[in-house]
Amino acid sequence: MTMPRLTRRAAIAGGLAAVPALTGLGATAARPRSTVKRFYRADDGANLQPAFQRAIDWAGQNDSDLVSDFGRIAGELWCPERIGPTGPDGNGIPLVVRHGTSIDFGGATFRLRGPGGNRVRAQRGSGDAQPWLGGWLYASAAGGGIDRLEIANVAVDGMFVGDFVTNRESNLTDKGFMLFDERVREVVMRNVELRNFGGEIYYVGGPGPVRQLLENCHFHGSPQCAWNPGGTGKLVAINLRAGRAYQCAEVIGGKGHVYRGGHFYAPGNGGSSFFGGPSPGFRSGYPYSYAWWDGQGAPPYIRFEGTEFSGGHALWLGSWIEGRVRLVDTSIYFNPGVGHLRDIDLDIDAVCDAGSGNAVVTFGGVPQPGARMAKAPADALLLPPSDIHLRIACSRTARARAAARTWATGFRFNGGHYDRDSLDVLVKGEVNSAVQMFGDGARGFPQPRVRDGGIVPR
């Protein structure tokens, strides 16, 4: 099947017009407000979980928003005892939201505990592959669904301790925020910090909401993934931070994402990945990362607006990527395995600091144009990458200069078939070479057109 192709000029014209506006983030129509303290009972003791769960249930059933009147409390949430399998009822999860509401936690900080306040959160049930930990908050629509869920002003420590460099100690029963229900149509988060969980910290499974809007959120500390927003809708994230995780980010772009500012840092061996699409939705039988767009409406771009990646990152990018990124000791790897890697327009500010200063960008084509992707339908083909435009500005810090460290090359080519006429790369600044033909794989293929914008070798 011939896939829709988008030139840079068309991308500018189409852009992200259909991505939700950044203004009005968190704004909702006036609704009645309820408070939390009245749901607290003396026999709850140090455990604030029952009071907040009662308040959340009442607010949802009465079309009310919720504002905590505990103030900036530092308290505990004890996970309820899990009885049998966990399904849409959220059995064995501290907080469950079943109706549309806005929850303002009032600056509270929570530590998670096991049943009875046990510092060991693990519960063992029959047939469980892993000990059950339960995470923090689960959104599961009841009845007709959730039009909007808003969460604000809270910090939660899952208290998970483990190795975040590898994923050997991950526990997928322990997600910070989790959503599997496509009937939740919009999620808004403001001023939320979630840290130290055994699984994904922010996780959306399946098609996900129509819109996700996040502002000043911080997700960190996981042997799995800090930021996994999943879904096929649209997303805007302002000043999002995610790090100290095996994967800082695992992102498919759905109908389009915008990252304004933000910082992804301290990755483990999994680095980060951002793949544009699929749009308008997943295609049955195709890999989740397959670069699919039906050509209707706006292209499904992931746009970075001054987003930083640091700490020895391996940053994997797929199709429909644009904007500007800042890399500190971080390298980009473009993945031709998404099917047809295409439509990329990126300004890259690459800083060599404490790292080894390898290649800023590593790029390769497909071994055989038109070959079928493994374990995919017959029309899922590997096509030569095309319409790729990069402007790479290299620099190094005083610490790097003192240690005689610098970037080896701006653009490394590993070989493979690609559309040479639609690839344009400019490299400038403190770097030893603009382009490098790397290894035996590059032999027999034309050298990419990489322009020297004024490089300064060490």
pLDDT score of 21 more than 90: no
Q: Give pLDDT, residue 6.
A: 43
Between CA 79 and CA 64 the distance in angstroms is 25
Q: Give pLDDT, residue 235.
A: 97
H or E segment and range at residue 56: helix 49-61
Between CA 156 and CA 103 the distance in angstroms is 14
Between CA 245 and CA 197 the distance in angstroms is 10
Between CA 174 and CA 448 the distance in angstroms is 45
Q: Give pLDDT, residue 458.
A: 81
pLDDT score of 421 more than 90: yes
Give me the mean pLDDT over the 322-347 stretch. 96
Residues 6 or more apart whose CB falls under 8 angstroms from that of 226 comprise 200, 201, 202, 219, 220, 242, 243, 244, 245, 247, 248, 249
Residue extents of the structural domains in the chain: 1-19+264-458, 33-105+141-152+171-254
Q: Give pLDDT, residue 126.
A: 52
Return the number of other C-beta atoms located less than 10 Å from residue 117's C-beta: 12
More confident residue, 441 or 253: 253
Q: Give pLDDT, residue 287.
A: 87
pLDDT averaged over every residue in the chain: 91
Burial (CB < 10 A; 0-12, 13-18, 19+), residue 351, is buried
Q: Cα dist. 138→104, 110, 201 in Å? A: 16, 16, 12
Which tens digits make up the pLDDT trace of 337-379? 999 999 999 999 999 999 878 999 999 999 999 999 988 999 9
Interior angle at CA 130, CA 127 and CA 132, nearest 5 = 90
pLDDT score of 380 more than 80: yes
Give me the mean pLDDT over the 422-439 stretch. 95
Q: Give pLDDT, residue 11.
A: 41
The fraction of the chain above a pLDDT of 70, given in percent, is: 92
Q: Give pLDDT, residue 143.
A: 67
pLDDT score of 315 more than 60: yes
Which tens digits make up the pLDDT trace of 253-304? 999 999 999 999 999 999 999 999 999 988 889 988 899 999 998 899 999 9
The fraction of the chain above a pLDDT of 90, given in percent, is: 79
Which tens digits make up the pLDDT trace of 150-176? 999 999 999 999 899 999 999 999 999
Between CA 66 and CA 122 the distance in angstroms is 30
Sign of dihedral through CA atoms 151, 157, 160, 164? Answer: positive
Q: Give pLDDT, residue 13.
A: 36
Cis bond before residue 280 (omega within 30° of 0):
yes
pLDDT score of 9 more than 70: no
Q: Give pLDDT, residue 28.
A: 55
Q: Give pLDDT, residue 5.
A: 44
pLDDT score of 18 more than 50: no
Q: Give pLDDT, residue 19.
A: 43
pLDDT score of 321 more than 90: yes
Q: Cα dist. 145→102, 173, 186 in Å? A: 15, 24, 11
Type of residue at 35: T
More confident residue, 15 or 48: 48
